Structure 1
Amino acid sequence: MRFVIDGDGSPVKNEVIALGEAYNIPVVIVTSIDHYTNKIYPEFIEFIYVDKGSDSADYRIVKEVEDDDVIITQDYGLASLLLTKSVRVFHHSGQEYTTQTIDTLLNQRFIGSQMRKAGKKTKGPKVFTQKDKDVFIEKMIKIINYEKQT
């Protein structure tokens, strides 16, 4: 098992790194070269940098994932691609994407896009709080414990 993070704009990178350290789980962060860092990280963390482009990180994640990986992304399109593989995919809220829910999420995204193209205003995402991070951490700990039992 590895954690793979869609790193551009993920609000839970530090939490996933802490979980990786606490539970001895490798962490892979795929992010745009725009977010390159010289910061030194522990060996269990791997950064994969991709070229600028709206889907560059997504395609690299699809290429890199391995069976039993846990992917964290807020991108519904990427989640839909990953659901065809033997991986579990989660939003940073802790919600797991499933084949039963992904069509509804993609449809909502499409409708919102159409509304914005028509000049209508839509709500953006709500502010991500510490409580939201705590919920995410609790969910990931449950997943880790479940994976260790199987």
Structure 2
Amino acid sequence: MIYVDADACPVKAEVERVGTRHGMRMFVVSNGGLRPSQNPLVENVIVPEGSDVADMWIADRATAGDVVITGDIPLAAKCIESGARVLKHNGEALTEANIGNVLATRDLMADLRSADSFRQGGGKPFSKADRSRFLDALERELQRIKRGL
């Protein structure tokens, strides 16, 4: 299965296209406000408002053999712990080998932003190259799952 942390996800359409090609069931999880897909493989899950409710819904269900699409690093860490494969929107794979460093960097940057009011940027914009890397990474992950790797 594929779980999409859909609030602010720029690659929902790409996930649906690649997931459909592989016959994968997909859960698009959000707090609402998204246009539901008519695709029978896509289940739109609307969770109640609240901090991290969508994240907890995904974390409670994702297991080995599943793919989680998220930019939320703490959610990624929980899913990796459960054996799921995690991809960020730009195609970067988060794994047991790198999640510790990614979490540490996230925490460091949060501390720096809170200490310096001039460091309040939103990061770099999502690009065509990011979308292309994501499509390639998702295709590779689904191929690995099909091969049992």
Q: Tell me, yes or no, if structure 1 residue 81 matches structure 2 residue 82.
A: no
Aligned to 1:8: 7
Q: In 2, are the aligned partners of 1:36 and 1:49 still within 8 Å (CA)? A: no
5+ long unaligned stretches in structure 1: none
Q: In 1, are the aligned partners of 2:63 and 2:79 still within 8 Å (CA)? A: no
Provide the rounded CA distance (Å) in 2 between the counterparts of 1:143 and 1:36. Answer: 26
Superposition CA RMSD, Å: 1.6
- The range that moved more, 12-21 or 123-132, is 123-132
Which among 113, 117, 120 is matched to residue 120 of structure 1? 117
Provide the rounded CA distance (Å) in 2 between the counterparts of 1:147 and 1:99. Answer: 17
**TM-score w.r.t. structure 2 length?**
0.89
Aligned to 1:48: 45
1:1-150 to 2 correspondence within 5 Å? Answer: 2-33=1-32, 35-37=33-35, 39-122=36-119, 123-150=121-148
5+ long unaligned stretches in structure 2: none
Relative to 1, partners in 2 of residues 1:136 and 1:36: Cα closer, same or farther, differing over 3 Å?
closer
Q: How many residues end up aligned between the 2 structures?
A: 147
Relative to 1, partners in 2 of residues 1:40 and 1:99: Cα closer, same or farther, differing over 3 Å?
closer
Provide the secondary structure at the position in 2 that maps to 1:15. Answer: helix
> 1:36 Cα deviation (Å)?
4.5
**TM-score w.r.t. structure 1 length?**
0.89
Identity over the aligned pairs, expressed in percent? 27
> 1:97 Cα deviation (Å)?
0.9
